[in-house]
Amino acid sequence: MYSYLVVIMLILSKVFEIIPFNGKRILVIIWKKYGFLVPLLLVLFFMISFFLPISAEKINLRLGSIFTTYSIFLWLWGTKINRNAKRDVIDKLTSQVMKIDNSSSFFFIKVQYWAIPSLLIGIFFYYQYFSS
């Protein structure tokens, strides 16, 4: 019943696993500005979903609703915070125009684009639920 969740956790543990450093395994997460909130919000959505009145037999419905609402939230929030992230600055000494990109990203991917794989995962779980 929870096999999908176990598979996702195993894949994530292998993705974030790094070569041992001084005998210890380290976890490297790369973010810029508010990008660190991408995985934390996913955990928050999972925690909130346990209060939904959905039975344990309908785990695919629960996971589908988590990922689709998460993707909608990420898209709206990501486009809002990255809207005015790029700007041009003129250097006083050289009078050259420099472009500064201060957008929020997680693993070099802008926050709003994390909504696309999340939505695909949500559609997959909805498909699993409605096809059974």
Pairwise CA distance, residues 64 & 56, whole Å: 13
φ/ψ (deg, to 5) at 35:
-65, -25
Give pLDDT, residue 121: 92
Give pLDDT, residue 68: 93
Give pLDDT, residue 42: 84
Say which residue the tokens 């809207």 belong to: 83
- Contact between residue 76 and residue 63 where contact means Cβ atoms under 8 Å apart: no
Give pLDDT, residue 26: 57
Instruction: List per-block mean pLDDT (blocks of 10 residues) for the chain, which spans 132 residues.
Output: 56 55 61 81 83 76 88 92 81 82 82 91 90 80
Give pLDDT, residue 23: 59
